[in-house]
Amino acid sequence: MPAIVPALVVLGLFALGYRYYSSYLARRVYALDSAFVTPAHSRHDGVDFVPTNKHVLFGHHFTSVAGAAPIVGPAIAVFWGWGPALLWITLGTILAAGVHDMGSLVVSVRHRAQSIGVVARDVIGRRARTLFLLIIFFLLTLVNAVFAVVIANLFVANPAAVLPVLLQIPLAIGIGQYVYRTRSSAFLPSVVGVIVLYLTILLGTRLPITVEPLAEFLDVGQRTLWVVLLFAYTFVASRLPVWLLLQPRDYINSHQLFIGLGVILLGILVGFDRMAAPLVNDVPDSAPSWFPFLFVTIACGAVSGFHSLVCSGTSSKQLHRETDARYIGYLGALSEGTLAVAAVLAVTAGAVGSTAEWNELYASFAKASDGATQNFVEGVAGFANNLGLPVSIGVVFATIVVISFAATTMDTGVRLQRYVVQEIGEITRVSVLSRNMTVATSVAVAVPLAMALLPGGGEKGYTFGVLWQLFGTTNQLTAGLALAVVAVWVTKNGRNPLVVLFPLLFLLVMTTWALVLNLVDFLAQGQWVLAPLDTVIFLLAVWLIVEAAVALRRAARGRTQPGDTEPTTPRDPVS
């Protein structure tokens, strides 16, 4: 089948979902009010709370929620066939992710743009804050560990990409300095930055960088050495002011995101590549079943709890009109779903030319997991070649795109992990954690570093086969908590919560099912690090179910009308 066919079908369903389902949610479930005074106006400070044009805000929001996760998860999940992967991406995005992202944004806006954790405390109860904090700690630990391995694998496989990625750091710092000191727009400097970054690809192909000599001297593997170096870098980067490195890298990567997506979709259209993978794959008996593991392997790209942190962390503070939540939240979810679709097509059509080649790459779940990111890179290079770009250059281009997303996520993830560690220190009254930035950062780095370096193997694979599934379950728990908050809020305001409850229940069932199956495997294998971790996450899932049920029952018995700020006409947004 030509790859353009499933691409058009899914994108068409996304369009219908936005046209009709998001409209229903906006009118009947979330009751968006264009006259409601958003926190961007009522708390306007010119720094965090800034009314922003919805198109500008969409660019920030999409860049923040879309990273390497909607690439890695789908690139692994096609092991079960491209049919189940695309089905979950399509239904999950339209019926779960859109509901989750739009709801998280609206609830935060209606609670003075507070974070979803604080809103959970107000809507569900004080224990919900602790629950959310613990889930986020595990989520960030796992995602930082996995993304470090993603980058390390790509550095080892594609040494020509190392120099351009390294040069991006001083380039971003230079842009950050310029924008901060001149108080000018970052758009033009970031465009120039992208052009300079892509010009360095030619330099990278002539000067490939490898750590093999140093790794041999230290008697460690290249991947291990890169992982250690990456966490050493994030220890420093996470302590720098956000305007100096993190924000300018976001500026550059926002353009890369749209360029990469454009290359994939145009390459499919021009090359008319065919799907080499089977619709449903006949997997070995020893491999994990796609029920329930598909639904935790593809987390970002179908539904992601991490989005609730972005919606309630930054986007809610910049929303000009409440009705813009449909455009930012629901369309943002569809856009990440589009990236996940592109990832599926890259590894099933762009990376290989025949079914036999694909079967070799996806012979086992471990092989599929370990090679997923490189398969995506090769697929994008194939699509770029359809547009006239040499394959060797396309490989470096795709590698830079993936590493840039993953590195930005690691920078943000370690920074957020430090905040979580400090907040845990405040709750437990351990002052050395809450007040000492060096100690808190050390913990934020050491825990995922240890997780990334743990040995493993077997049929599932370790880093992606096991840790990625644990990341997916934790991410889905975060989504479950956010959906529970939204469901209680909707119920309290006298509206039907069923459209929120269905994805909430589905996520909880799949998450707990996967956790139980993993726990059985870990105990059988004597995995005495992963078994306790899985047990803790399982207990958090049970805790979430209990908290949500109690809060929903309480909300159903005492529905109230929302006591929101009196609506007035918002001021003009920042364009």
What is the reported pLDDT for 565? Answer: 42
- Looking at every residue in the chain, the average pLDDT score rounds to 89
Q: Is the pLDDT of residue 261 over 50?
A: yes
How many residues does this entry show for the chain?
A: 575
Which range, 64-68, 338-342, 363-367, 563-567, is most confident?
Answer: 338-342
Token pair, residue 374, equals: 């490189």
Q: How many helices (H) and strands (E) does the chain have?
A: 26, 0
What pLDDT, in 10s, does the model give residues 28-56? 999 999 999 999 999 988 767 888 888 87
Q: Is the pLDDT of residue 563 over 50?
A: no
What is the reported pLDDT for 50? Answer: 86
Mean pLDDT computed over 204-215: 94
Token pair, residue 539, equals: 């207990």
Which helix (H) or strand (E) element contains residue 496? none
Cα 89 from Cα 344, distance rounded (Å): 10
Token pair, residue 465, equals: 């086969």
Mean pLDDT computed over 57-62: 83
Cα 175 from Cα 233, distance rounded (Å): 19
Residues 248-284 as b/e (b if ≥16 CB within 10 A, e otherwise) read: bbbbbbbbbbeebbebbbebbbebebebbbbeebebe
Mean pLDDT computed over 12-31: 97
What pLDDT, in 10s, does the model give residues 475-512? 999 999 999 999 999 999 999 899 999 999 999 999 99
Token pair, residue 561, equals: 């009308």
Is the Cα dihedral 185, 188, 192, 197 positive or negative?
Answer: positive
Q: CA 9 from chain center: how many Å? A: 24
Q: Is the pLDDT of residue 181 over 90?
A: no
Is the Cα dihedral 542, 543, 549, 552 positive or negative?
Answer: negative
Q: Is the pLDDT of residue 323 over 90?
A: yes
Closest CA to 306 of 481, 568, 94, 123: 481
What pLDDT, in 10s, does the model give residues 428-459? 889 998 889 899 999 999 999 998 887 654 45
Mean pLDDT computed over 100-107: 97
What pLDDT, in 10s, does the model give residues 377-427? 999 999 999 999 999 999 999 999 999 888 888 888 888 888 889 888 888
Largest CA distance in the chain: 69
Which helix (H) or strand (E) element contains residue 252? helix 246-271
Cα 44 from Cα 129, distance rounded (Å): 26
Q: How many CB atoms lie within 10 A of CB 112?
A: 16
What pLDDT, in 10s, does the model give residues 114-130? 888 889 888 888 888 88
Cα 391 from Cα 361, distance rounded (Å): 19
80, burial (CB in 10 Å: exposed 0-12, middle 13-18, buried 19+): buried
What is the reported pLDDT for 478? Answer: 92
- How many CA atoms are closer than 13 Å to the CA of 219, on its beta-carbon side? 0
Q: Is the pLDDT of residue 560 over 60?
A: no
Taking a C-beta distance cutoff of 8 angstroms, is the pair 140, 413 a contact? Answer: yes
Cα 394 from Cα 390, distance rounded (Å): 6
Q: Is the pLDDT of residue 247 over 80?
A: no
What domains are there in the chain, each with its CATH number?
A: 4-54+80-557 (1.20.1740)
What is the reported pLDDT for 562? Answer: 46
What is the reported pLDDT for 287? Answer: 87
Q: Is the pLDDT of residue 151 over 70?
A: yes
Give percent above pLDDT 90 in the chain. 58
Look at residue 574 and give its three-state secondary structure.
strand
What is the reported pLDDT for 22? Answer: 98
Look at residue 372 and give its three-state secondary structure.
helix
Q: Is the pLDDT of residue 303 over 50?
A: yes
What pLDDT, in 10s, does the model give residues 268-296? 999 999 999 999 999 988 888 999 999 99
- How many CA atoms are closer than 13 Å to the CA of 47, on its beta-carbon side? 3
